[in-house]
Amino acid sequence: MQTHEIRRRFLEHFVRAGHTEVPSASLILNDPNLLFVNAGMVQFVPYFLGQQTPPFARATSVQKCVRTLDIENVGITTRHNTFFQMAGNFSFGDYFKREAIEFAWTLLTNSIEDGGYGFDPERLWATAYLDDDEAIALWKEVAGMPDGRIQRRGMADNYWSMGIPGPCGPCSEIYYDRGPEYGAEGGPEADEDRYIEIWNLVFMQNERGQGTGKDNFEILGPLPKQNIDTGMGVERVAFLLQGVDNVYETDLVRPVITKAEEVTGRSYGVSHEDDIRFRVIADHARTAAMLIADGVNPGNDGRGYVLRRLLRRIVRSAKLLGADQPTMADFMAVVRDEMSPSYPNLGTDFKRIETVAVGEEVAFRKTLTSGTKLFTDAVDTVKNKGGKTIGGTEAFALHDTYGFPIDLTLEMAAEAGLSVDEDGFRSLMAEQRKRAKDDAQARKHAHADLTVYKELVDRGPTEFTGFTELTSEAQVLALISGGVRTPTAVTGDTVEVILNRSPLYAESGGQIADKGMITATGVRARVDDVQKIAKKLWVHKVTVEEGQLTEGDIVLASADPLWRKGSTQGHSGTHMVHAALRQVLGPNAVQAGSLNKPGYLRFDFNWQGALSENQRDQIEAVTNDAVSADYAVNTFVTDLPKAKEMGALALFGENYGDEVRVVEIGGPFSMELCGGTHVEHSSQIGPVTLLGESSVGSGVRRVEAFVGLDSYKYLAKERALLAGVAASLKVPSDEVPARVEQLVERLRVAEKELEKTKAAAVLSNAGAFVEKAERVGGLLLVAEAAPEGVGGNDLRTLAMDIRGRLGALAGVVVLLGNADGKVPFVVSVNKPAQELGLKAGELVASFGPAIAGRGGGKADMAQGAGSDASGIPAGLAAVRARVAELAGN
């Protein structure tokens, strides 16, 4: 049975049983505890916590999930995957254990002709929590399962929680026995490779307290309602129903391995080490494509760093398999072909996905070149010392800085005839993982308690009137202070005000909230911010300036008209810049985030490489041409499929409802899904001035601009600055660029002459340094502080000149400078001194700590810099002592 069919049967089974089918949420949710969605129940957390009333009593979904804690184990075992699909059915105070067990059992064991999966009931096992006699009785009654195939397990295995205070409860898991050829008899407790978990039924009935780990927390008591949360692993069911050994050999994953075989020339199933690499490619390619599709871009922290690691592990694995050419585009195309029947956006958005993935591959291949140089230097150092082993510290630096996995370092070391201190490497890796785990645990906290808003959310959404008016009559539904309801607020109080209707825009979609006032007879309250709860309840954060505000009051809520005008200019200007970017750069310049406020906009977009000056000029020109064209701005509400059919652009990673608001500016010029406020005609935006363009991460660029009056003020300031420069240069404004270029060229020539003079002055000191040479054993040593202000390049020239003047005698030159707050240094060792066993690179270690310096080099020359000039005397003393020791004094 194909994986897409497994998904379809699951959803249809539960829809027939009265469940509402809910689409998969994005892998990125606004949850401080989660980097990615990692379970099917995550999008339903507010319902389980009782913070919101669910719109349905029963739900079913197939949720895309990503877990990366075990990323290093992917491929080594066949049980670890970073991306997987979790099919689930959920009950919010409706049914409980009996129905959950019945639904799971019938789907698993009903025949294929009857819509089930056709599993042999005799090969299914169940586990239950230690004291959950009710679940055990139901397995016997509903499934007819004998005692011998039901096992009781402790909290670590069969008690579920989110790892933080909140809902929890015992769970019951369903396992499939693959047969004696896969392991020992004895059920899941004996061997979880033979007995594969395919479904977990969580009986969410209690509330947990503080604690750590899976079984070290207090159970506070029962929840108000008993809920059901189940999860069936789609990939695990697929490999069992398809008769293969693991998920890597299923219909959606094996094609990636096949493509990897094709581009590398190696075969899967021949070598254990190669098989690991094939599985890494197959797993990570799927995960990377899904993450990019939901708006993640490679970066150096958070979600971006995870994606970067996945993509780089693909490149490394392909390289280790023998691929010399880029392979990422091939792998992404296979993922698209196999997964798009369930996730159509992989097809419609493929060009962007491919661009991001290939861009990271290109960047990493360059990094591999840099890392290889570091590796070569490490090899030279080890061999020069007569050693046979590359240190764990060096291997860890290659991994941490350049992304070299240990297996790549091991292979390269073996080619060089060396080994690697794997124990040292793994010790450093363990320390890093512990730090990361401790940091993640420290940042975990209980979900914000939004219970106080639940009644208000249940009453219905706030009516937003701001599209048509700036002042609206409204009723105060509630006042909230410190997370609790309060009947009144008086002068000086800062409270949250919930109104039944409001013209003030609540922050969303990149547009910051309106400022404004809430007034009544004798009452004035300043609105500083407006936020949304559950995407539909407006929460006004206000300071009472005069009088007393009371729950139930009829008030006037007003948005500041100047603030609103500026914010609409900024938001409409953002749409115009987006359209201009796509017109100049093409459809791959896709929005990756935005911020707009009165007079200003910031727009992030997916793009590889900096924009040229000509491209920036074109974008600004296209934008202002559209502004001056005075396009009409039209808004309308339609369903999501129709909006997409019309060509409306959506923000990647955003979850939209069945109905969406479309903002159209100038017909085909700009059409986007947007809930923000906008001007009525494009000319009302005013002039748009791009301030600059920069990088905010791999594959993501940012443009910033002023609009309207702020744009005029900026240009006026620039004009004044230009006029001032023109006056100083005594030329007309239009001749300033040429005049500045002449001055820069004259300055460049003068600097070159100064450098020559300075170099001559430095070299003139060489003789004086030679006169200070000390005889140490059988060699001459010059260890001195250089003249103030001599930089690294001049220092190197001086050291080479001094060394040359020492003639045929063994000589060592060590010069420490003091320039621009740094301590540059150079060590030079001639051939006779090298024959005595002295090496420039090794001498750095003797004085480096004294000046807080780092550097290195080869036997004849080493250089670097420190930061502590006060340590120069001690550093020189240390190197004299070291040379004396090596020279046999």
Annotated binding site for Zn(2+): 571, 575, 674, 678
Tokens of 813: 């030159």
Report the distance separating Cα 295 and Cα 654, nearest Å.
Answer: 9
Q: Are 369 and 305 in contact (CB under 8 A)?
A: no
For residues 708-732, one letter each, b for 16 or more C-beta atoms within 10 angstroms of the residue's C-beta and e for the rest, the string is bbbbeebeeeeeeeeeeebeeeeee
Q: Quick check: helix, strand or coil at residue 750?
A: helix
What is the DSSP code string of 321-348?
A: TT--S--HHHHHHHHHHHHTTT-THHHH
For residues 91-105, one letter each, b for 16 or more C-beta atoms within 10 angstroms of the residue's C-beta and e for the rest, the string is bbbbbbbebbbbbbb
How many Cα neighbours within 13 Å face the side chain of 233?
Answer: 25
Q: Are 686 and 711 in contact (CB under 8 A)?
A: yes
- Using a 10 angstrom Cβ sphere, with 0-12 exposed, 13-18 middle and 19 or more buried, the burial of residue 477 is middle
Tokens of 220: 């506070």
- Give the 3-state secondary structure of 526-591: EEEEEEEECCCEEEEEEEEEECEEECCCEEEEEECHHHHHHHHHHHHHHHHHHHHHHHHHCCCCCE
176: CB partners within 8 A, 6+ apart: 119, 123, 124, 125, 195, 196, 198, 240
List Cα–Cα distances, 313 to 77, 277, 307, 336, 368, in angstroms.
16, 9, 10, 19, 12
In this structure, the number of other CB atoms found within 10 A of the CB of residue 261 comes to 16
- CA 382 from chain center: how many Å? 37
The gap between the terminal CA atoms of the chain, to the nearest Å, is: 81
Q: Quick check: helix, strand or coil at residue 241?
A: helix
Tokens of 543: 């300071």
- Which residue reads 């005595």 in tokens? 836
In this structure, the number of other CB atoms found within 10 A of the CB of residue 419 comes to 14
In this structure, the number of other CB atoms found within 10 A of the CB of residue 659 comes to 11
Which residues define the annotated binding site? 571, 575, 674, 678
Tokens of 663: 């903002």
373: CB partners within 8 A, 6+ apart: none
Beta-bridge partner residues of 705: 601, 690
> Would you give the DSSP letter of residue 410?
H
